[in-house]
Chains A and B, each alone.
Chain A
Amino acid sequence: MRARVIGGLAVALFVLSACAGSSSGTGAGGSVGVIASPSAAFPVTMTDDDGQQITLAAPPERIVTFAPSMTETVFALGLGDEVVGVSGAYDDYPPAATHVQQIGGAGEFGVDPNIEEVVALEPDLFLTIEGGDQWKQQLRDLGIPVVTLNATDLPDLLDDIRTVGRITGAVEEADRLTADMQTRADAVTTDVEAAGGPVSCFFEVYFPPLTTVGPDTFIYDLLRRAGCDPATAGAKTDYPTWSIEKLIADPPDVYLATPESAKSTAAVAKRTGFDAIPAVAAGRVALIDSDLVTRPGPRVIEGLEALETALHPSG
């Protein structure tokens, strides 16, 4: 029974990281090689972040996006009509995505795709993030092309969006989208410099226990770009439980939380001991929409801008 509880925890952690949409650790991460002619004529052959080689003979017409970030990316490329399946209730953006069939909710802990439903949808592309090696193999064995992309930081995400564009035949849309994101990211960099460089910050993803982000997470990269030196630079894990003693002894300039971790900025100030953090006492607390910073999709640029505004309000 101990093993089951531990197993449950492992899955809980998987769900957390899946909800967080973050990508770190196990996957190959990093760059993705796409071998295609400049005009992206099909067939396209690529190696994904799970190290799998995938060849698509023609532009896919029936796409399953098994991760909210993938759903957002594919819709942003103007391919919403081709999405025949999404993972579940978290695939809530854009609103049109909520009308697509949800194929998640299977497996012992309800985080796997329902294989029968996937097969019935006859997809010619299954886009997802890290994890689930077993059911991925099952889908591959059934002849469904599974593509795994883990964005580890912003440049990697732009790469991944262009990759999705190339394998779906939406090259121009992807170029336009990523160019716009790059421009906005550059503007944030300029603003940070104008505001006098980075300030120290603490990003809370959950409370209690006080849970934050480690250096290998996607959020951490966004924080750095938004002009923050996270107080958790020394963290050894991706989502560490952090000592409140340490938080008070080395207080950050700005305290960031999410609507899931704190009901309001006032609620943060009311917690035991938190009034001893000057930033909290001075009201330098902001709630960041976690969907904008935890899902490596097109909207992270909005998250980046929101972070920058919270970190450098005057700038």
Chain B
Amino acid sequence: MAAPGAARYRRTLVVLALILTASVLLAVAVGAVWISPRTTLQIVAWKLHLIPRPADVSVASQVILLQLRLPRVVLAVVVGAGLGASGMMFQGLFRNPLADPAVIGVSSGAALAAIVVIVAGAGAAAGGLLVSGAAFLGALVTAFLVYRLARIGPGVQVATLLLAGIAVAAAISSVMSLVMAFAGEQIRSIYFWLLGGLGARGWSSVEVVVPFLAVGILAATFQVRDLNLLALGEERAAQLGVEVAASKRRAIAVGALLAAAAVSVAGVIGFVGLMTPHVLRLIVGADHRRLLPAVLLGGAIFMVLADLVARTALAPEELPLGVVTALIGAPFFLWLLRREHGRSLRGV
């Protein structure tokens, strides 16, 4: 890629990586309980076998840092990267910057499937894997459904996409209401899934979600080229050798897998998948090959900082993560809608 601007692009990636590193360090250093940077460094150095076990560090500090805070920050990185990449896949596929796993109902679909498994009582028996699998199926079905509904003629219009998303999300919402009515004591699980959050997760969740996301991100790297060609229009893409139908099916599957992996551990968290690709498209351009690494970093940054706010703003109480991202994201979403509206009026 010796294209003009390649140096600038590399610089952008380095800056994003530095911001992510700084965010992670900040998120590890700050929490509901104050652990001094010196203690934090001692614990980390000890875990990396650089120094012997520090004598004056309490067990509580070690547990808080190593078993609670660190896995939570790692999970935020992974989930944020997944949601960012998922948003990019859907926006590329729909050729529409308003597509996002939460907006088009994919996250709700994943959550609904997961909830049904939990309420049926199968979740506890089979563990996280069954719930994740159900979430993936739910995301996949919803994504295909919205895509089929929204697609009238070439490409997907903003209005049809939003209408299809609203219709599908409303249907999912009423099914959720129904499940909730029969959920009894499980209703808090549903509440948790709907608001989203990374609390009480730990390393086991990291282990569950990382393979799914790794496969998803790897698959995404094979799709970015096709997304670029599809952006030229389906006919043109076909002339350039893209098997359009198959390529779009793969893109939906990859986007759904990425969203489902994130939802299966973090619940429905909106706006990350919407904002991240859009902001980064403004910075690195619309080339999906360049966009993918950037949205992985950008999504991770957004999620790490949002979760930091969620767990420290009202400490020791925690805010639902979905509420924090929505507080930041909703005004952005409105701005985006107005901007899109203006553009379509000008015929761009």
The reply on A206 being an interface residue by CB < 8 A is yes
User: How many residue pairs bridge A and B at CB < 8 Å?
Assistant: 135
B154 within 8 A of A: no
Are A208's CB and B192's CB within 8 A?
Answer: yes
CB under 8 Å from chain B, chain A span 199-228? 206-211
- Is chain B's binding surface mostly helix, strand, loop or mixed? helix
B187 contacts the other chain (Cβ, under 8 Å)?
yes
- Return the chain A residue nearest B165 by Cβ: A1
| Given contacts A12-B191, A209-B197, A246 and B68 within 8 Å (CB-CB) | no
Cα–Cα distance between A251 and B60 once the two chains are bound (Å): 9
> Given contacts A12-B190, A208-B199, is CB(A241)–CB(B317) below 8 Å?
yes
Could you tell me the distance between the alpha carbons of A236 and B315 in the complex, rounded to whole angstroms?
10
Q: Which residues of B contact A207 (CB under 8 A)?
A: 200
Q: What 10 new A-B contacts, CB under 8 Å, besides A5-B169, A9-B194, A110-B181?
A: A5-B194, A5-B268, A209-B199, A210-B200, A240-B317, A240-B318, A244-B199, A248-B63, A248-B68, A276-B63
Say how far B72's CB is from chain A's closest CB, in angstroms.
9
Enumerate 11 A-B pairs (CB-CB under 8 Å) in ascending A order. Answer: A12-B194, A19-B185, A89-B184, A105-B181, A208-B200, A209-B197, A243-B31, A245-B69, A245-B311, A248-B60, A273-B67
Known contacts A4-B169, A208-B192, A260-B185; decide if A234 and B316 are in contact (CB<8 Å).
yes
B 307-325 to A, binary, CB cutoff 8 A, 1 in contact else 0: 0000100111111100000
Structural contact, A12 and B68, CB atoms closer than 8 A: no
CA distance in complex: A206, B195 (Å) = 15
Contact A5 B181 (CB under 8 A): no
Q: Is B344 interfacial (CB 8 A cutoff)?
A: no
A9 touches B203 (CB 8 A): no
- Please tell me if the beta carbons of B180 and A209 are within 8 angstroms of each other in the complex: no
A235 vs B32: C-alpha distance when bound (angstroms): 13
Interface flag for A8 (CB, 8 Å): yes
Q: Interface on A for B, CB 8 Å cutoff?
A: 1-2, 4-5, 8-9, 11-13, 15-16, 19, 89, 105, 108-110, 206-211, 234-237, 240-246, 248-249, 251, 260, 271-273, 275-276
A304–B264 Cα gap in the complex (Å)?
A: 38
In contact, A9 and B199 (Cβ under 8 angstroms): no
B173 cross-chain contacts in A, Cβ below 8 A: 1, 4-5, 8
**CB contact under 8 A between A243 and B317, given known A248-B68, A260-B185:** yes
Please report B residues at the A interface, Cβ cutoff 8 Å: 31-33, 59-60, 62-64, 67-69, 71, 105, 108, 165-166, 169-170, 173, 176-177, 180-181, 184-185, 187-188, 190-192, 194-195, 197, 199-204, 268, 270, 311, 314-320, 326, 330
Within the complex, the shortest CB–CB distance from B176 to chain A, in Å, comes to 7
- Kindly state the separation between the CA atoms of A8 and B187 in the bound complex, as whole angstroms: 11
**A245 in contact with B32 given A5-B194, A236-B317, A237-B317 (CB within 8 Å):** yes
- When the two chains form their complex, are residues A236 and B181 in contact, meaning their CB atoms are under 8 A apart? no
Tell me which residues across on chain A come within 8 A of B62, comparing CB atoms: 276
Bound-state CA distance A125–B303 (Å) is: 52
B residues in contact with A275, CB < 8 Å: 63
| B-side contacts of A5, CB under 8 Å | 108, 169, 173, 194, 268
In whole angstroms, what is the CA distance A246 to B311 when docked?
11
Contact of A271 among B169, B191, B192, B200 (CB under 8 A): B200
